[in-house]
Chains A and B, each alone.
Chain A
Amino acid sequence: MGTLIAEAWSVGVIRHALFGMLIAGGTLSLLGVVIVALHLSVIRFTLMHVGLFGAAVGIALGSGATIGAFTAVLIASCIMGYLSRQNVMSTSSISGLFMTGSLAGAFLLLAGTGVPAMQVFDIFAGNILMLSRTDLVLTAITGTIVVLVFIVAYREIQLVLFNRELAILLGVPVEAIMMALFLLLGLGIATALRLVGALLVDAVILLPGIAALRLARSFGSALLLSSLFGIISTAGGFFIALRFNLPVGASAAMTATCLLSCVLLIGKLIQPS
């Protein structure tokens, strides 16, 4: 295994991929805590579908699937955040609208422009080994933004997650925080799309958050555990993929699934009767 790692380490692409996975696992996983605590699972699922539409647009315009998906997810998260803030309709209705619209748009675009469907569906699988130095820098910037927001607005986010009505009455700018979290979510999903693909975004973002919330005794420990589980999932998945010549995204997702299963089991065993 040591030789294998040493050999792999000498290849630039693999080094980039590992760094990318570690950064994403350690930082984007913080968003999982927010997704679970604010019940935003539907939103993140919608953003994945929007990514597909963006990929189709990107390919049709010649700017590439990844850029298209990234842009579409960011724009959609802004619009969805705005609509939810304006109370135009419920979050699930907004999600339904965007999810259906995105899928329909993607299929119509595929049919209308003759873009090969498989090229668009690549966005579902991602390609970590195609990660360039620029991609790596972008991932690091996104990760830094996510961490900084959680450091600067730690108590404010905690208040919103604890009791939104109390936060409003105390004067916490709840709407601005919600908007910022929507944007971060969009940014995080768009970044994870490039790494592990739409289908496996949950491995990096959601599952570590769920596992952390099962064990954590405070908001701070939930964030730390989520980050730790994110790193374990991505690093573990990466080395398993390397060792057994398997796809990286799927290996990371399976590691995250096993980790969450273990946490649920441990939680069940130590739960006081």
Chain B
Amino acid sequence: MKDFAIELDAVTAGYHHHTVFSKVSFAVSSGERILVTGSNGSGKSTLLRIISGTLIPKSGTVTVQHVTLHNSRRRQQTRRQIGILAQMQHDPEIAISVRESVVLGLWGTRFNWCTRVQREDHERARNYLALVDMLPFEHRDIRSLSGGQHQRVALARALIRNPQIILMDEPTTYLDLDAKRDILERIMQLQQQMQFTLVVVSHDDHLIDRFDRTIRLEHGSLLEVEGGSLWAR
């Protein structure tokens, strides 16, 4: 039996009465690097929400790390094994230091409503900042960073959960060519070192050759799976 990190079986997802994609099926092996492409509104980010268990599918089955996400407890448990690199948004209105922003990535694992951030969480954040060469910036306000630096910090935030799977939403958007190359290089290097399963959502087709497989979402359905032997419906 193949060791799948993620399995989607006939999953239909959307918001309220609007269906974003329907009957999508695919599987991702452990340690595999998958690129999900598609135009705006095709459901790429929705797919990440489904895998992370933060959006419940209208129908179908989602299995992550051999756990079927059919109740909130299981979704919450599984989420602890997932690291997130969210889409870069406009600068927040509140000031936040680089280190504190990395600590926030631990929400739901090391702290939540009941438990607070500990001193060792800050130490952990420093270690991951060092991993992406951002430790000298730990006290800087995140709003003062460049786009590339911003994404390196976001990478540290995703890694701090020590995840089995990392989901990335448009990690190269708004970056210039050098910064794009730098962040991709770092992601791939760290993936090889740590062997986590990597699912990257991007509208940038130029990234295709860096991944094991590419999945294309178009008009609410999965159109093609390139370069892979796994099944797709």
Q: A and B: partners? A: yes
Interface residues of A (CB under 8 A from B): 33, 36-37, 86-87, 152-153, 155-156, 158-159, 161-172, 213, 216-219, 221-222
Q: Given the known inter-chain contacts A158-B94, A162-B92, please indicate yes or no for A171 contacting B87, CB distance below 8 A.
A: no
Check A169–B54 contact: CB distance below 8 A: yes
**Cα-based distance from A221 to B105 in the complex (angstroms):** 21
Residue of B nearest to A167 (CB): B107
Over the window 37-53 of chain B, the binary record of Cβ atoms lying under 8 Å from chain A Cβ atoms (1 yes, 0 no) is 00000000100110011
**Cα-based distance from A35 to B93 in the complex (angstroms):** 10
**Cα-based distance from A56 to B75 in the complex (angstroms):** 49
Query: Chain B's nearest CB lies how many Å from the CB of A213?
Result: 6
11 contacts between A and B (CB under 8 A): A37-B94, A158-B104, A161-B92, A161-B94, A162-B104, A163-B86, A169-B52, A169-B84, A170-B107, A171-B107, A219-B95
Check A169–B89 contact: CB distance below 8 A: no
Check A163–B107 contact: CB distance below 8 A: no
Residue of B nearest to A165 (CB): B86
**Cα-based distance from A86 to B93 in the complex (angstroms):** 25
Check A162–B94 contact: CB distance below 8 A: yes
Q: Which of A156, A165, A216 contacts B94 (CB under 8 A)?
A: A216
**Cα-based distance from A163 to B85 in the complex (angstroms):** 11
B111 at the interface (CB under 8 A from A): yes
Q: Please provide the chain B residues from 148 to 164 with a CB less than 8 Å away from any CB of chain A in the complex.
A: 157
Check A170–B79 contact: CB distance below 8 A: yes
Interface of A is mostly: helix
A158 contact set on B, CB distance < 8 A: 94, 96, 104
Check A152–B113 contact: CB distance below 8 A: yes
B100 at the interface (CB under 8 A from A): yes
Query: Chain B's nearest CB lies how many Å from the CB of A141?
Result: 22
Closest 8 CB pairs of A and B: A166-B86, A37-B93, A169-B84, A165-B86, A170-B107, A171-B79, A219-B94, A162-B92
A219 contact set on B, CB distance < 8 A: 94-96
**Cα-based distance from A25 to B230 in the complex (angstroms):** 62
Check A161–B93 contact: CB distance below 8 A: yes
Check B49–A163 contact: CB distance below 8 A: no
Check A169–B95 contact: CB distance below 8 A: no
Query: Chain B's nearest CB lies how many Å from the CB of A164?
Result: 7
B25 at the interface (CB under 8 A from A): no
B169 at the interface (CB under 8 A from A): yes
Over the window 122-158 of chain B, the binary record of Cβ atoms lying under 8 Å from chain A Cβ atoms (1 yes, 0 no) is 0000000000000000000100000000000000010
Check B76–A171 contact: CB distance below 8 A: yes
**Cα-based distance from A168 to B48 in the complex (angstroms):** 11
Task: Give 11 A-B pairs besides A167-B107, A171-B52 with Cβ atoms closer than 8 angstroms.
Answer: A156-B107, A158-B96, A159-B104, A162-B104, A165-B86, A169-B54, A170-B84, A170-B107, A171-B79, A218-B96, A222-B94
Q: Please provide the chain B residues from 33 to 88 with a CB less than 8 Å away from any CB of chain A in the complex.
A: 45, 48-49, 52-54, 75-76, 79, 84, 86-87
B108 at the interface (CB under 8 A from A): yes
Residue of B nearest to A164 (CB): B89
Q: Which of B48, B92, B93, B112 contacts A169 (CB under 8 A)?
A: B48
A86 contact set on B, CB distance < 8 A: 16
Residue of A nearest to B107 (CB): A170
A33, A164, A165, A217 — which one has the most chain B CB atoms within 10 A of its CB? A165
B84 contact set on A, CB distance < 8 A: 166, 169-170
Query: Chain A's nearest CB lies how many Å from the CB of B6?
Result: 15
Query: Chain A's nearest CB lies how many Å from the CB of B205?
Result: 23
A172 contact set on B, CB distance < 8 A: 107-108
B87 contact set on A, CB distance < 8 A: 165
A158, A166, A169 — which one has the most chain B CB atoms within 10 A of its CB? A169
**Cα-based distance from A87 to B18 in the complex (angstroms):** 11
